[in-house]
Amino acid sequence: MTPTLSQTVGYPRIGRDRQMKQALEGFWRGKSDQAALLKVLAAVEEQGELAQSQAGIDLIGVGDATLYDHVLDWSHRLGIIPARFRHLHGLDLRFAMARGADGIQPLELTKWFDTNYHYLVPEVAEDWEPQTDFADFLESVRRAQRQVAQRAVPIVLGPVTLLALSRLELPLAEALERVLPAYQALLRQLAGLGVPEVQLHEPALVLGRAAEWERSYQFALEAMSASGLRLNLVTYFDDLGAAYSWAVQLPVATLSLDFTRGDNLGLIRSRGWPEGLALAAGLVDGRTVWRMRPDEALPLLQELAQSTPALRVGPSCSLMFVPYSAAREAQLPPALQAALAFADEKLAEVVLLARALSGEPADSGLQSVRQAWSALGDLIHQGATRTDNGPLTPERFARSSPYPVRRRAQIQLPAFPTTTIGSFPQTAAVRSLRARFKRGEIDLETYQAGIDSWIGYTIGAQEGLGLDVLVHGEFERSDMVEYFAEKLDGFAFTEHGWVQSYGNRYVRPPIIWADIDRPQPMTVREFQKAQTFTVRPVKGMLTGPVTILNWSFVRVDIPRREVAFQLALALRQEIADLEQAGARVIQVDEPALREGLPLKPERWQAYLDWAVDAFRLATAGAHDATQVHTHMCYADFGDVLAAIERMDADVISIENTRSGDANLEHLAAAAYPREVGPGVYDVHSPNIPQAAQIKSRLQVFLKHLRPEQIWVNPDCGLKTRPWEDVLPSLTHIVDAVRDLRQELNAQEQPVPTGRAFGG
């Protein structure tokens, strides 16, 4: 029997001990130079290649390591440089495009398909002509060849996906025609290095719009196949859908498909598989932390083997979406740890499946996986049941009064009320305080006193600046999801389970493994403490059920909808306790609602129905006098406006500084009736917005929204910014609002007393 090859299409790139974060931040602070930064990048890349080689992977995807974002890297290599950056060079240019510099607005940051990763959106100008520089990529491939020889397969982001995800000032077909010579030149250079094949990553093929790009794909692949290199066309995150019939006819040697999402198997069953085209089956889920199910994966693999003799096995997508190694998680219950598969364990599963299909001994490995699942099931059944198991009647999903009625009962504020999204700077002192408490170096009383001092300082700063609705600063929270997960039953937590969100921002998603329950209030103490420092309203701050779901690794034994509703019921209890404690404004953040949207439009409504229902289940029990806010960021809302309306939040705050008012225009076109806070401060850039800039933005808002609809706030939380940036930025926001109020003769109303806010 011919051995079945194994492949990978990407690997974690942050370093097992987050070396890239440390190196980047050291470079930005001037504590290290470019040579030191690039040395760390090369070391992380080489360590990843070695891990894949030692696992026994036959064809190792290489060249995907990055200093910040792989899409940004390909923009830079192809000379897609907006005019505002062209006076810069080297790393100064790359990081300015990512983070902004000297008042220059950075590229827009948005979600990579339906994942939790953010990429930087390329801007392709009408006069763009590619100016290529592939030196860093070619050197990366050479290093990989020295490490793993002929097993190194370069990963190239395909031209159609790159352009389809860009802001284009010219037709995609025209932009493609300009860029293809650059891709052809790169392939010739790779051929000169003697690589066995090239992975051309084209995940845009799974989008619902892929049919629009059929001619573009045919044109691009015909041009690139002329290089003579074997091309592996890699797709992931969904099935090919309507594109299947022509995608399998493209001139490539191998087509990599995801068999963990969508229904590529059904497409093959109904339409067949072309003779001579190799299939790489993504059977190990690269976006979950759970082990494969052998009794599902093996029969599927065997069926695929009947369709094509040239079959490979691999992960469904890059392994950058999972942590490095579950073996490091010594604090988890043994039965739970045994059921987990991070990147290293998934490599082993890929090799195990390939060997099983090849007829090599694999029974003991497969049986250990089966035993792990059985032990986990026993552990789940021993867990506590939820306290709220009441019927979910329609009344539990609806506020008691419509918006116009309840708005009259809610707080009254001056025109253009000012607030922030929630978090304030997480300084080294704050992080140290939390770490000392977790290590047992200080007791609870000392820890809470330290947190309270930061809350008091932050309330005083906001009141001194003149903000209208205040926040407590979230100093007790390491992460907006992790904090709530730690307070709820049904979650587990890793020590080393970091994954990249964007650039130097890494998160450690919790793992939902059992039923969700709230044993006690989660945020009431900090809210009450904050409200004692001021008579102005303080927001209760919660993370919404869909965001907690989408930003966690979720159990796979029950539907996601059911998990979302469990989370919603826990948050509903929290809102009731906050109201009892005097909260009149409660923010339930749902930045991840849009990113969970399926990639195929025909599946959108089913997801939106239960996602919006989860938000409503969490918030519908709020009193009329309670103003419910939500925050949504870094996503295109045009596709989900009806869902946003159905959420029935009183106020929504949105990212606006990088998206060119697109979301604001969507809301205006839909005649959105409630209140909106379009962001005026890009918190992911070191630039400090000036009052005149902010005032100009507000005047633009007035072209789209009624004055009484507009709130003024940053794009997102302020935890990643230093105080020396935050204080002047917020000062400028208040100054701009004050000027605009005077110019428009807004009728300011007195700030109500603490009693009016339940203090």
pLDDT at residue 384 in the model: 55
The confidence band for 755, taking pLDDT boundaries of 50, 70 and 90, is very low
Q: What is the mean pLDDT of residues 206-225?
A: 96
Residue 705 CB contacts under 8 Å (≥ 6 apart), including other chains: 664, 667, 668, 676
Handedness of CA 346, 546, 451, 463 (dihedral sign): positive
Q: Which residues lie closer than 8 Å to 623 by C-beta, 6 or more apart? A: 400, 579
On the question of pLDDT at 179 being above 80, the answer is yes
Compute the average pLDDT of residues 214-233.
96
Is the predicted pLDDT of residue 613 greater than 80, yes or no?
Answer: yes
Domain with CATH 3.20.20.210 in the chain: 5-9+58-382, 415-745
Higher pLDDT, 687 or 444: 444
pLDDT band of 752, cuts 50, 70, 90: very low
Which residues, at least 6 apart from 628, have a Cβ–Cβ distance to it below 8 Å?
586, 587, 588, 619, 622, 649, 650, 651
Q: Which of 186-190, 213-217, 362-366, 749-753 has the lowest mean pLDDT?
A: 749-753
Q: Which residues are the active-site residues?
A: 684
Predicted local distance difference test score (pLDDT) of residue 626: 98
Q: What is the pLDDT of residue 38?
A: 97
Q: Is the pLDDT of residue 360 over 90?
A: no
Judge contact between 255 and 225, C-beta under 8 A: no
pLDDT tens per residue, range 378-398: 888 765 566 777 789 999 999
- Banded model confidence at residue 173, pLDDT cuts 50, 70, 90: very high
In the 8-state DSSP scheme, what is residue 384?
A: P
> Looking at residue 474, what is its pLDDT?
97
pLDDT at 635 over 60: no
Q: With a cut of 70, say whether residue 759 has pLDDT above it.
A: no
- Give 540-592 pLDDT, tens digit per residue: 999 999 999 999 999 999 999 999 999 999 999 999 999 999 999 999 999 88
* Mean pLDDT, residues 75-80: 97
User: 3-state DSSP call for residue 656?
Assistant: coil
Question: How much is the mean pLDDT over the chain?
Answer: 93
Q: In the predicted model, is pLDDT for residue 740 greater than 50? A: yes
- Cβ-Cβ contacts under 8 Å for 146 (sequence gap 6 or more): none
Query: Residue 659's pLDDT band (boundaries 50, 70, 90)?
Result: low
Q: What is the pLDDT of residue 407?
A: 96
Token pair recorded at residue 726: 């935050």
Alpha carbon distance 33, 28 (integer Å): 9
Nearest in space to 499 (alpha carbons), one of 303, 289, 328: 289
**Do the Cβ atoms of 419 and 471 come closer than 8 Å?**
yes
What confidence score (pLDDT) does residue 582 get? 97
pLDDT digits (tens, 9 = 90+) for 458-503: 999 999 999 999 999 999 998 899 999 999 999 999 999 999 999 9
Nearest to 549 by CA among 537, 560, 540: 560
Whole-angstrom CA distances from 201 to 318, 334, 362, 454 are 10, 37, 31, 47
Q: CB–CB of 377/295 below 8 Å?
A: no
CATH number for 415-745 (one of 3.90.1300.10, 3.20.20.210, 3.30.360.10, 3.90.1150.10): it is: 3.20.20.210
Helix (H, G, I), strand (E, B) or coil at 552: coil
Residue 321 has pLDDT above 70, yes or no: yes
**Overall CATH class of domain 5-9+58-382:** alpha beta
**Which residue would you say has higher pLDDT here, 657 or 189?**
189
- Residues 212 and 243 sit within 8 Å (Cβ to Cβ): no
pLDDT beyond 60 at 747:
no
| Highest-confidence segment of 156-160, 371-375, 390-394 | 156-160
pLDDT value at residue 517: 94
Looking at residue 205, its pLDDT comes to: 98
| Mean pLDDT confidence for 438-466 | 97
Give the pLDDT of residue 383. 59
pLDDT of amino acid 682? 87
pLDDT at 722: 94
Q: Give the mean pLDDT of 175-185.
A: 97
* pLDDT exceeds cutoff 90 at 39: yes
What pLDDT is recorded for position 1? Answer: 57
pLDDT digits (tens, 9 = 90+) for 667-726: 888 889 999 998 888 888 888 999 999 999 899 899 899 999 999 999 999 998 999 999
> Global pTM?
0.90
**174 against 655, higher pLDDT:** 174
pLDDT digits (tens, 9 = 90+) for 230-268: 999 999 999 999 999 999 999 999 999 999 999 999 999
Average pLDDT over residues 74-88: 96
